[in-house]
Amino acid sequence: MKANFYPKYIFTSFLVVVVSLVFAQGKTLDSLKQALNTKSAHDTVLCRTLSLLAEMAPDGEWEAYNDQLLKLAETNLKDLSSKDPCNNVFKKHQSDALNNKGYSAQQKGDIHEALVFYHQSLKIKEEINNQRGAASSYNNIGSIYMAQGNIQKALEYYNKSLKIKEELKDKKGVATSLNNIADIYINQGQTDKALEYYIQSLLLEKEINNKAGEAISLTNIGNLYVKKGDLEKGLEYHTKCIKLREELANKNGIGMSLNSIGTVYLLKKNYPVALEYYTKSFNFLQETGDKKNMIWSYLNMAEVYIIQKKYPQALENSSKSMSLSKELGFPLEIRNAAKQLSRIYTATGNYQKALENYELHIQMRDSISNQETRKASLKQQFKYEYEKKSTADSVAHAKENEIKNIELEKQQAEIKAKRYTQYALFGGLALMIVFAGFIFNRFKITQKQKVLIDMQKRVVEEAHKEIIDSINYAERLQRSLMASDDLLNKNIKNYFVYLNPKEAVSGDFYWASTLHNGNFCLIAADSTGHGVPGAIMSMMNMNSLKESVQENLCEPHEILNKTRSIIIETLANDGSMEGGKDGMDAALIVFNSEKTKGEFSLANNPLWLIRKGELIEYKPDKMPVGKHDRQDVPFSKQEILLEKDDLIYILTDGYADQFGGEKGKKFMYKPLKELLLSVQDKTMSEQRDVLHKRFEEWKGGMEQVDDVCIIGIKI
């Protein structure tokens, strides 16, 4: 369509009339379509109308409007000179339409085509100096690189986008970039750093009342809490998110939120409810054509079926996940599907298929880890092949001319020989002078560098020494607050304590005290966090316990109730968004003076009793000693009438949660129970040694994931 050119004032007036018509009717689709059919409309107005329709029309319609927009913009650009005032207007619409096509391709899983469209859009935006649009393109390109596992490129483009948005004071855009950069930190395992970025993003979205962006931030925070093991907090954020997305009628977002809630119930071991949510999620995602997230729905439904040992259904879903992952070319999803298929085939006795898929899982895992190395290697290989080919061509050409030049070389050789002798003499002398100067200069530089390096080394060594000294001091301080050997030996005698911190200082601790009535209480606890933050939290928890006991409380549940209120009050003003939702999981037991009865209260951590070769488990209250949805519910009290040779164990979750073994899985509680049963006849010190040896063997070369604390007592 050729552009209709009007005098400037006529065009401006007409634009005002059309836009007023659209906005007076609330920007409804009907009013936009009415404006689109206005016969006298200038092409710039038609482009704007098509752009709005592409933005507002539902799935199944908007792409047709976007294609019209691209065609109309490109048709006008062919007929306009670069100096025409409408040129940049049409270029902006062209770049927006290309960006939309990139988004469409990305949603359908064609990331290669999406990347092409995004780069085309970016090039035009940079050409017309559309900074806001360029920031959007940088962000979109970063998301593609993120999906491909190219972390370095993703971070590069996300930071380019963030820089422009900050310069433009674009709060909505900054919030999006903060979310994306947080995803990078998640990928690198820095969850605390990621949470900071997610919360900053959420606050910005609320400030500008962007409900769609707020929903994304709520999802991300919910997922992160689930990743950290706080399922209730994760469910809380996902529930808030799905309500927002239902208000917005965002079917794709609803599907993803349903999937996230399903995962929470899976981790809570409520498998029927988890499957219900996964199935609902899949239906929404299939309706919107979101193939990437359909992959995860297939995987998650298969996981539930595996747990339920419904292997045919598990195989069907996992196979569909693999097929879709290969179609889209996503290595991460292929890796996960292969690992899941290997488990299914192993369980059903098809070991050949199990091995094939396990090898594919390893291949994809290594592919993701070494992507940058392989790219560099491939680039070097192409460079080598090119240089090799160039060298071969040069040699062939040289041989062709060799015969022609040989006679001329003979004639000139004698003259050159004389000249070379003279040149060599003077050149050698000059070279010696230059070399001597170079050596002297390097000697002076080396002396200066040596002094600088020595100074830097001393600074680093001093800083390192100060850090180590501080940590050692913190470790001594923490130890001084824990139960002393004298106190334990006086009250329980035959026991062991196995405390194995992840770092020098620990979030896990054990604490004891003689109570007002002469009874003896002992606690094994897991504070929020580990390392230095965990140690600080543990010291606060021990002081809270001490304060509770000083109020002459003697019942275990009363001690935990009071300790909880002290912790909540202490952390109420810690400045966090959650308002101090920290504390500890704990098992607290009180022995009477004759050691004939044990009364105990349990917060998320169990107590195990081995009596006459049988292990009996006492279940805990499902709430921590700290701020929680059930913080007003009192802790319950349980009791045991003790018998001679009873073995009592209180413990934290660090031992069972350790990854290791041949398959890199968690140790789990059942094998830990079996291990304790196998050593029940050994002395308490021997039991401790076996526990430590088995833990180190299981861990192998893997990183310790958490602090470990197990206390064993023989009556």
pLDDT digits (tens, 9 = 90+) for 416-440: 444 544 444 445 555 555 555 555 5
Three-class DSSP labels, 356-398: HHHHHHHHHHHHHHCHHHHHHHHHHHHHHHHHHHHHHHHHHHH
Confidence at residue 439, expressed as pLDDT on a 0 to 100 scale: 58
Task: Please provide residue 528's backbone torsions phi and psi, each rounded to the nearest 5 degrees.
Answer: -60, 125
Question: At 578, is the pLDDT very low, low, confident or very high (cuts 50, 70, 90)?
Answer: low
188 pLDDT band, cuts 50/70/90, is confident
Helix axes 87-107, 111-127, angle to 10 degrees: 160
Residue 587's pLDDT band (boundaries 50, 70, 90)?
very high
Tell me the angle at which helices 531-549 and 371-481 cross, rounded to the nearest 10 degrees: 30
Are 581 and 635 in the same domain?
A: yes
Looking at the fold, whether 426 and 536 belong to one and the same domain comes out as no
Are 661 and 546 in a shared domain? yes
The amino acid present at 314, given as its one-letter code, is A
Distance CA 710, CA 715 (A): 17
Cα gap 413→410, rounded to integer Å: 5
In 3D, which of 5, 14, 55 has the Cα closest to residue 35? 14
- Cα(581)–Cα(230) distance, rounded to whole angstroms? 10
Q: Give the 3-state secondary structure of residue 389.
A: helix
Cα gap 284→311, rounded to integer Å: 25
Contact by Cβ (8 Å): 621, 576: no
- DSSP annotation of 714 reads E
Q: Rounded to whole angstroms, how far apart are CA atoms 95 and 74?
A: 10
The domain that holds 46 is classified in CATH as 1.25.40
Amino acid at 392: A
Q: Is residue 534 part of a domain?
A: yes
Using the 3D structure, point to which of 434, 458, 481 is the last residue of a domain.
Answer: 481
CA 691 – CA 667 distance, rounded (Å) = 12
The residue among 43, 61, 39, 48 whose CA lies nearest residue 20 is 48
pTM beyond 0.75: the answer is no
Q: Is 242 helix (H, G, I), strand (E, B) or coil?
A: helix
Model confidence over 297-325: pLDDT tens digits? Answer: 999 999 999 999 999 999 999 999 999 88
Q: Kindly state whether residues 496 and 454 are assigned to the same domain.
A: no
Residues 6 or more apart whose CB falls under 8 angstroms from that of 327 comprise 109, 291
Domain endpoint, select from 426, 450, 481: 481
Domain total of the chain: 3
Q: Does residue 217 belong to any structural domain of this protein? A: no
The amino acid present at 176, given as its one-letter code, is: T
**Is residue 706 in a domain?**
yes
Bin 518: left if φ > 0, else alpha if -120 < ψ < 50, else beta.
left
> What is the tens place of the pLDDT at every residue in 370-409?
544 444 333 333 333 333 333 344 434 444 444 444 444 4
Whether 105 contacts 111, CB under 8 Å: yes
**Could you give phi then psi for residue 426, rounded to 5 degrees?**
-70, -40
* Residue whose tokens read 């090898």: 359
82 belongs to a structural domain:
yes
Return all residues near 599 (Cβ < 8 A) that are at least 6 apart: 555, 556, 589, 590, 637, 638, 639
Average pLDDT, the chain: 81
**Element housing 163 (H / E):** helix 151-168
pLDDT in tens, 439-472: 556 655 666 566 556 655 665 565 556 566 556 6
Q: Do residues 505 and 553 share a domain?
A: yes
Instruction: With respect to residue 358, please indicate whether it lies within any of the assigned structural domains.
Output: no
Do 547 and 424 fall within a single domain?
no
d(CA 507, CA 539): 9
Give the SS3 label for residue 503. coil
Nearest to 669, CA basis, from 683, 684, 651, 687: 651
In angstroms, the Cα distances linking 605 to 143, 430, 505, 589 are 41, 82, 21, 12
Which range (25-39, 112-126, 181-195, 263-277) has the least confidence? 25-39
Give a yes or no: residue 172 inside a domain. no
420 and 536 fall within a common domain: no
Does any domain span residue 261?
no
Same domain, 536 and 661: yes
Q: What is the DSSP string of 598-619?
A: EEEEEEBS-EEEEETTEEEEEP
- Angle at alpha carbon of residue 511, lines to 509 and 515, rounded to 5°: 165
| 8 Å CB contact between 665 and 632 | no
Report residue 88 as tokens: 């940049």
- Residue 227 has a CB neighbour count (10 Å cut-off) of 13
- Residue 445 confidence (pLDDT): 63
Rg of the chain over Cα atoms, rounded to whole angstroms, equals 35
What per-residue confidence (pLDDT) applies to 30?
A: 74
Q: Which residues contact 572 (CB under 8 A, 6 or more apart)?
A: 579, 580
> How far, in Å, CA of 228 to CA of 69, rounded?
46
CA dist list (Å): 342 to 351, 448, 667: 8, 60, 20
Over residues 355-363, mean pLDDT = 84
User: What does the H/E/C string look like for 683-700?
Assistant: CHHHHHHHHHHHHHHHHC
**pLDDT computed for residue 24 by the predictor:** 38
Residues 466 and 477 in one domain: yes
Q: Is-contact 688 708, C-beta < 8 A? A: no
How far the first Cα of the chain sits from its last, in Å, is 94
Among the three residues 430, 452, 481, which one is the final residue of a domain in this structure? 481
Do residues 524 and 670 both lie within one domain? yes
Does any domain span residue 223? Answer: no
What is the predicted pLDDT for the residue at 505?
Answer: 79
Token pair recorded at residue 657:
């949660």
Contact (CB, 8 A) for 225 and 202 = no
The candidate with the shortest Cα–Cα distance to 680, out of 614, 600, 606, 589, is 614
Please report where in the chains the tokens 């206005």 appear, as a residue.
38
| 537 in the same domain as 476 | no
Same-domain status, 463 and 560: no
Mean pLDDT calculated for residue range 43-60:
83
Relative to beta strand 665-666, strand 659-660 is antiparallel
Domain CATH number, residue 571: 3.60.40.10
Print the domain residue range for 60: 1-129
